[in-house]
Amino acid sequence: MIIEHVEVRAVEIPLKATFRTSQSSQDSRRSLLVHIVTDASEGWADLSVEDEPIFGHEFIGATWVALEELLIPALRSGALGSASHASERMRGVVGHPSAKAALELALLDAELRTAGMSLSHYLGGTRERVDVGVSIGIADSVGELIGTVAAFLEDGYGRVKLKVQPGWDSEPIRAIREAFGAELDLQVDGNGAYRSSDLRHVASWESFALTMIEQPFAADDLASHARLGARITTPVCLDESIASAAGAAGAVSSGACTVVNIKPGRVGGYLEARRVHDVCQALSVPVWCGGMLESGVGRAANLALASLPNFQFPGDISATSRYFAEDICPPFVLTDGKLDVPHGPGIGVEVDPQALDRFTVRCVSL
């Protein structure tokens, strides 16, 4: 496989509503799209990084430089046997896992299109449809939050995840439980906003019968997560702390979590994401697929990943209409709380060139 052309685009797609977490607020989704043309096919990837280094060290500006000056030149130095070969070649550059993940996926998409194989099949997926949930940002009031949750339940979502932060946690969680009952599959996500001194407060959420508590403490604070897990029966899930299969194994063995949220960009690609899945499966630890408000390109790839057997909880993938009035790919539609896994070659979706041009704010061809 020989790379003939690489295009990197910064795209900005308006969100239907502002999405707030403990760390950021977004009115549009900015991300980088990678398009690679090889001597046999072409491939696409959605590189999910933030405008600023909020959840990790990566951000769009630095990632653009890493792609243009380091990673793409490393791949163009000779023929590639496969996407796996490309991953090995990029190991010479330290860090930038999301950038590496995007290049690996674009090459894997091209490789699988040539072979006529879907990404789901290649990864070992066993499902044609997957359960998905909805992630709800921090609202201006409890009343607004209740209305938002009610609307998503009416749409057919069976699992709700609330973003929380100090000062916006117990009250909204209690209100949702009282409004929708104990049968609602409800979990919360702190995005690392709490400190070790907040442990008793976070542990008090045990009374809300949550499906899980996701990443209340900082990514490097496994000790506080382990202490929390020892005090409550509610499962503790790690997200920002999980950067590799080895890291997942270490976090589980330390007692820091009993559930793992896999984000392909954070762990360096879908091949490493599969290894995280396999390690957790061997340790009898269930996983689920996180989301970064991806375009249809990233949504398709995440659905393929979520079709693997150890993805036991609904992912933050959601239907296209959850976030966008218009996307760069045909919309994914929610039916009975599930989304269809694409089964066409590669990631299984095609990019609309006209929509892509409308949302592009910068483009570089190499």
Sheet holding 185-189, edge to edge: 134-136, 159-163, 185-189, 213-214, 236-238, 259-262, 287-289
Q: How far is CA 229 from CA 24, 76, 222, 236, 238, in A?
A: 27, 46, 10, 6, 11
- The token pair at 251 is 């976090």
> Where in 89-133 does DSSP place strands (E)?
129-131
For residue 249, give the nearest of 288, 289, 284 by alpha carbon. Answer: 284
Is 43 within 8 Å of 108 (Cβ atoms)? yes
Going by C-beta distance under 8 Å and a sequence separation of 6 or more, which residues neighbour residue 193? 22, 23, 164, 165, 166, 216
Q: Is 94 exposed, middle or buried (0-12, 13-18, 19+ CB in 10 A)?
A: exposed
- The token pair at 137 is 């940002």
Q: How far is CA 191 from CA 1, 8, 165, 219, 276, in A?
A: 40, 29, 8, 9, 20
Active site residue 161: no
User: For residues 18 and 136, what is the distance between their CA atoms, to the nearest angstrom?
Assistant: 10
Active site residue 100: no
> Where in 98-184 does DSSP place strands (E)?
129-131, 134-136, 159-163
- Of the candidates 16, 161, 263, 338, the residue annotated as catalytic is 263
Amino acid found at 342: P
- Of the candidates 16, 100, 161, 163, the residue annotated as catalytic is 163
Determine how many CB atoms are found less than 10 A away from the CB of residue 181. 9
Residues marked active site are found at 163, 263
